């Protein structure tokens, strides 16, 4: 009688608590009693290796729920076919999408079930957008401290991508041979040049590729022109600083009364490189 009561109650409930018999008879050693909460726990959905991938990648969608969930279900927005269902493994359900294509792109959500009652699927998770590209979007390449540096200086070419855990590659367009390959867990990577020489002058581009089996690569970045000048030659560009006039608490000056002004301070100007040593 007691077992049937708890079995029927089990199909209604999301939250467990343990009831230990203190009478020594009737309830054996341990019974699981379930009660309904005011608001059932909402599941969450995540994607591995990420929400933005390229064609051919294997993607795992993880639905996280309470430890007492028995089954998980995966939905795709706009798809009316029977959803994918998966028995619970600990506190999650794993849904495998193999060799994805752009057709797999879309909004996914998941839910979980309690007991064996098919009508007790809990509210779905927030939507997760999966984007499958034919190729990764192009990165951005820039130079620090400047794309124009004197001979003997140090310069870093930084490549900024859209994904982490990738391999960045630096290319020189005159030869189209990869100059450096570096793995990075971040969205960017710096390629360092020490004591640059005039022959380092040229046009550079960078790419990044997935480190998984797919090995999908991004488009090439826009070209960055690196110029190595003679010793002592800096960036030939004009540099200006814009500084607001300070305000006064004792009154308003005539110039301030006429409007807001800025001070343009000329920091440096190189008219030609003819005076630099080569």
Question: Within this chain, do residues 104 and 176 fall inside the same structural domain, yes or no?
Answer: no
Give a yes or no: residue 95 inside a domain.
yes
Residue 270 has pLDDT above 70, yes or no: no
Query: What pLDDT score was predicted for residue 40?
Result: 66
Is 205 a domain residue? yes
Q: Is the pLDDT of residue 171 over 90?
A: yes
- Please count the structural domains in the chain: 3
Q: Are residues 144 and 225 in the same domain?
A: yes
Per-residue model confidence as pLDDT tens digits over 56-75 = 888 999 998 888 888 888 99
Mean pLDDT confidence for 188-216: 88
Among 134-138, 206-210, 252-256, the range scoring the smallest mean pLDDT is 252-256
CB 232 within 8 A of CB 222: no
11 vs 177, higher pLDDT: 177
204 pLDDT higher than 50: yes
Residue with the bigger pLDDT between 89 and 238: it is 89
Instruction: With respect to residue 241, please indicate whether it lies within any of the assigned structural domains.
Output: no
- Given 133, 164, 193, the domain boundary residue is 133
Asked whether the predicted pLDDT for residue 235 surpasses 50, the reply is no
Q: Is residue 220 part of a domain?
A: yes
CATH number of the structural domain spanning residue 108: 2.60.40.10
- pLDDT exceeding 70 applies to what percent of the chain? 63
Is residue 145 located within the same domain as residue 224?
yes
- The rounded distance, in Å, linking the Cα atoms of 133 and 135 is 5
Confidence of residue 242 (pLDDT cuts 50, 70, 90): very low
Greater pLDDT, 247 or 192: 192
Bond preceding residue 72 cis, omega within 30 of 0: no
Percent of the chain with pLDDT over 90: 34
Whole domain around residue 159: which residue ranges?
A: 140-229
Domain end, chosen from 68, 98, 133, is at 133
Taking residues 138-163, report their average pLDDT: 94
60 & 100 share domain: yes
Work out the average pLDDT over 139-168: 93
pLDDT digits 0-9 by tens, 1-49: 444 444 444 443 434 433 333 334 344 333 444 444 545 688 999 999 8
**Which carries the bigger pLDDT value, residue 229 or residue 215?**
229
- Contact partners, residue 149, CB within 8 Å, separation at least 6: 143, 155, 196, 226, 227, 228, 229, 234, 235
pLDDT of res. 168: 94
| Residue 193 forms part of a structural domain | yes
Residue with the bigger pLDDT between 252 and 166: it is: 166
The tens digit of pLDDT for each residue in 178-195 reads 999 999 888 889 999 999
28 and 95 both lie in a single domain: no
260 occurs within a structural domain: no
**Residue 84 and residue 57 in one domain:** yes
């Amino acid at each position: 009688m007691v077992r049937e009561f708890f079995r029927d109650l089990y199909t209604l409930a999301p939250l467990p608590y343990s009831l230990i018999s203190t009478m020594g008879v009737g309830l054996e050693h341990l019974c699981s009693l379930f009660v309904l909460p005011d608001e059932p726990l909402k599941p969450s959905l995540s994607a591995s290796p990420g929400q933005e991938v390229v064609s051919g990648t294997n993607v795992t969608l993880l639905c996280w729920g309470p430890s007492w969930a028995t089954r998980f279900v995966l939905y795709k927005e706009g798809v009316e076919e029977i959803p994918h269902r998966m028995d619970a493994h600990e506190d999650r359900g794993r849904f495998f999408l193999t060799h994805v294509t752009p057709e797999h792109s879309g909004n996914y959500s998941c839910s979980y079930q309690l007991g064996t009652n098919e009508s007790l699927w809990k509210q779905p998770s927030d939507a997760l957008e999966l984007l499958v590209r034919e190729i990764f979007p192009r990165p951005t390449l820039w130079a620090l401290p400047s794309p124009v540096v004197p001979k003997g200086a140090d310069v870093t070419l930084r490549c900024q991508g859209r994904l982490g855990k990738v391999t960045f590659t630096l290319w020189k367009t005159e030869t189209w041979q990869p100059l450096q390959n570096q793995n990075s867990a971040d969205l960017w990577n710096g390629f360092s040049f020490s004591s640059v020489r005039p022959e380092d002058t040229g046009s550079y581009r960078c790419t990044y590729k997935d480190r998984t089996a797919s090995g999908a690569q991004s488009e090439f970045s826009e070209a960055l022109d690196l110029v190595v000048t003679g010793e002592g030659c800096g960036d030939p560009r004009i540099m200006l600083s814009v500084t607001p006039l300070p305000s006064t608490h004792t009154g308003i000056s005539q110039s301030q009364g006429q409007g807001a002004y800025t001070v343009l301070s000329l920091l440096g100007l190189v008219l030609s490189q003819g005076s630099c040593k080569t």
